[in-house]
């Protein structure tokens, strides 16, 4: 049997002496989609930053496609097929939409970058329409679409999304959930999304894992968390 696409064993991480992740176990198979839910400050972003290598692990093991990620810099992980849409998008505000896409294509791991950019403009007509506009002039939702297109441009086998619905109008939240679900189904891109928005989680329909105080505490279906007010109250504080 091939190894899982992503495997975390007892991962610990934090900032200085402050521990945040306190032993995370997580297995993601090829083509699988998982949502991680948890209230503010439980370590969701810290988890994704550890996976992309923006933050060094303090303990435990992490493997991608059977290879250890320990000590590998972010750009190496990106070339291996890990794409990341960070919380708050972090597009280049002074660059145009097209330049933002070109910057991503430049670091992509394979293939023809012009064709990849053309495919992104085809998939997201909004970006073609706005290709000359500076990133800063886009709405939050439009920036999120740009950040998603930028991540998909690298043809990842794993897509990490950090609260893609945060601060975005509902129609674009739905559109983003649709694109992510479709790429997961059609292209087999594995997805790990961190969210607090149950609507997004429901649209994506992935299996859910609840994170609390740096530990995975509960596994359930999207439907279960959407319907169970007690679970929501306990782990999401809603």
Q: Which residues of this chain interact with ligand ATP, rule CB under 6 A? A: 15, 18, 20, 38, 40-46, 87
Minimum CB distance to ligand ATP, residue 42 (Å): 5
Question: What does 43 interact with, of Mg ion, ligand ATP, none (CB < 5 to 8 A by kind)?
Answer: ligand ATP
Binding site for Mg ion (CB under 5 A): 44-45, 87
Cα–Cα nearest to 65, from 154, 3, 109? 3
Place of tokens 């609507």: 199
Question: What does 15 interact with, of ligand ATP, Mg ion, none (CB < 5 to 8 A by kind)?
Answer: ligand ATP
- The H-or-E segment that residue 20 falls in is strand 18-28
The residue number whose beta carbon is nearest to Mg ion equals 45
Minimum CB distance to ligand ATP, residue 215 (Å): 12
Minimum CB distance to ligand ATP, residue 214 (Å): 8
DSSP string, 73-107: -HHHHHHHTEEEE-TT----TTSBHHHHHHHHHHT
Minimum CB distance to Mg ion, residue 117 (Å): 29
DSSP string, 178-211: HHHHHHHHHH--EEEEEES-HHHHHHHT-EEEEE
Question: What does 89 interact with, of Mg ion, ligand ATP, none (CB < 5 to 8 A by kind)?
Answer: none
Minimum CB distance to ligand ATP, residue 19 (Å): 9
Helix/strand/coil for 68: strand
Q: Among residues 4 and 164, whose Cβ is nearest to Mg ion? A: 164
Question: What does 46 interact with, of ligand ATP, Mg ion, none (CB < 5 to 8 A by kind)?
Answer: ligand ATP
Q: Among residues 44 and 130, whose Cβ is nearest to Mg ion? A: 44
Number of H helices, E strands in the chain: 10, 10
Question: What does 93 interact with, of ligand ATP, Mg ion, none (CB < 5 to 8 A by kind)?
Answer: none
Handedness of CA 181, 48, 110, 134 (dihedral sign): positive
Q: Are 51 and 82 in contact (CB under 8 A)?
A: yes
Minimum CB distance to ligand ATP, residue 198 (Å): 14
Place of tokens 């991962």: 11
Q: Among residues 42 and 69, whose Cβ is nearest to ligand ATP? A: 42
Integer-rounded Cα Rg, in Å, for the chain is: 17
Q: Among residues 45 and 175, whose Cβ is nearest to ligand ATP? A: 45
């Amino acid at each position: 049997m091939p190894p899982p696409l992503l495997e975390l064993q007892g991962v610990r991480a934090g900032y200085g002496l402050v521990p945040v992740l306190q032993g995370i176990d997580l297995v993601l198979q090829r083509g699988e989609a998982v949502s991680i839910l948890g209230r503010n400050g439980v370590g969701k972003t810290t988890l994704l930053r550890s996976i992309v290598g923006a933050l060094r692990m303090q303990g435990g093991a992490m493997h991608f496609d059977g290879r250890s990620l320990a000590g590998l810099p972010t750009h190496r992980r990106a070339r291996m097929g890990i794409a990341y849409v960070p919380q708050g998008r972090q597009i280049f505000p002074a660059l145009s939409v097209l330049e933002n896409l070109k910057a991503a294509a430049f670091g992509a791991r394979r293939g023809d970058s012009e064709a990849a950019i053309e495919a992104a403009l085809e998939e997201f007509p909004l970006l073609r329409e706005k290709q000359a506009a500076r990133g800063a002039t886009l709405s939050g939702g439009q920036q999120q679409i740009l950040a998603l297109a930028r991540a998909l441009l690298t043809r990842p086998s794993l897509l990490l999304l950090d609260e893609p619905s945060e601060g975005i109008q509902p129609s674009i939240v739905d559109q983003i959930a649709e694109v992510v679900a479709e790429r997961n189904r059609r292209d087999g891109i594995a997805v790990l999304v961190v969210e607090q928005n149950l609507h997004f989680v429901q649209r994506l329909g992935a299996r859910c894992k609840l994170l609390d105080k740096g530990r995975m505490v509960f596994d359930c279906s999207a439907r279960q968390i959407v319907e169970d007010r007690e679970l929501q109250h306990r782990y999401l504080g809603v």
